[in-house]
Amino acid sequence: MSKPIAAAPGAWLHPGFLDPAGQAVTLAALRAGIAQSPLFAPTMPRTGKPFSVRMTNFGPLGWVSDRNGYRYQPMHPVTGDPWPPIPAEIAQVWRELLPDAPPPEACLVNYYEQTAKMGLHQDRDERAFDVPVLSISLGDEARFRIGGATRDAPTRAFPLRSGDVFTFGGESRLAFHGIDRILPGTSSLLPEGGRFNLTLRRVTPA
């Protein structure tokens, strides 16, 4: 792991936080979770347009989006089963980087195929804005963009590579952020290619 990089006030990039062995262990836990809680294709509120990423969740609460809007709910929208617990290997990253924070309640899993992206948005469906958001990248490199709390604030782009962890809290908790694109073939971690992002969040006040 190299030194954390200050990306914005309260936002930190931890390059290579997970070494290749740590990435392999995290990926195995992720795959076991997906076997219980399969990736599904979320749709946009109102328009019903599909997202370019597929999603699932671990933990007591999972973030979903469909025609009825964005929300947290305790069960998978397709299987109706409760989300599986957040794997210990994944919760451990939160404990190491955010030792003073209450435990995460949601681990959103996004899978990006080579052409997937994510438009600039805020993470604001939680009721715990005092707790940072933590995201773990596995697989192909992504070009991540982060700005300020208003959509028109200037933005900066950072590479997120396999094993990198990004945290944003404090002044950046409500910063607009997104994924411009995936750089195919930049990691050999996933035989199928593409990228997983795991986003851990506290949803309710502790």
The residue ranges that bind Mn ion (CB under 5 A) are 123
Which one of residues 7, 91, 165, 179 is an interface residue with ligand SIN (CB under 6 A)? 179
Enumerate the β-bridge partners of residue 107. Answer: 58, 200
> Minimum Å distance from CB 179 to ligand SIN?
5
Residue 68 burial by Cβ neighbours in a 10 Å radius (0-12, 13-18, 19+): exposed
Residue 31 vs 124, nearer CB to ligand SIN:
124
Question: Least distance in Å: CB of 191 to ligand SIN?
Answer: 20
Specify the DSSP class assigned to residue 158.
E
Amino acid (1-letter code) at residue 31: R
Instruction: Tell me how far apart the alpha carbons of residues 40 and 59 are, in angstroms, rounded to a whole number.
Output: 16
Q: Does 144 bind ligand SIN (CB under 6 A)?
A: yes
Closest contact distance (angstroms) between CB of 23 and Mn ion is 21
- Beta carbon nearer to ligand SIN, 110 or 187: 110
DSSP 129: T
Site for ligand SIN in 98-117 (CB under 6 A): 110
Residues 6+ apart with CB under 8 A from 45: 65, 66, 67, 68, 69, 70
Identify the helix (H) or strand (E) that includes residue 24: helix 20-36
Show the tokens assigned to 11.
Answer: 């936002």
Taking CB under 6 A as the rule, does residue 172 contact ligand SIN?
A: no
The Cα–Cα gap between 135 and 164 comes to 8
Q: Which residue type sits at 92?
A: Q
Q: Is 176 in the site for ligand SIN (CB under 6 A)?
A: no
- Nearest distance in Å: CB 198, ligand SIN: 9
Identity of the residue, 67 or 124, whose beta carbon is nearer to Mn ion in the bound complex = 124
Nearer to ligand SIN, 6 or 80 (CB): 6
Residue in 135, 181, 103 with CA at minimum distance from that of residue 11: 135
Q: How far is the CB of 197 from ligand SIN (least distance, A)?
A: 3
Question: Of ligand SIN, Mn ion, none, which one does residue 198 interact with (CB within 5 to 8 Å by kind)?
Answer: none
Binding site for ligand SIN (CB under 6 A): 110, 118, 135, 142, 144, 160, 177, 179, 197, 199
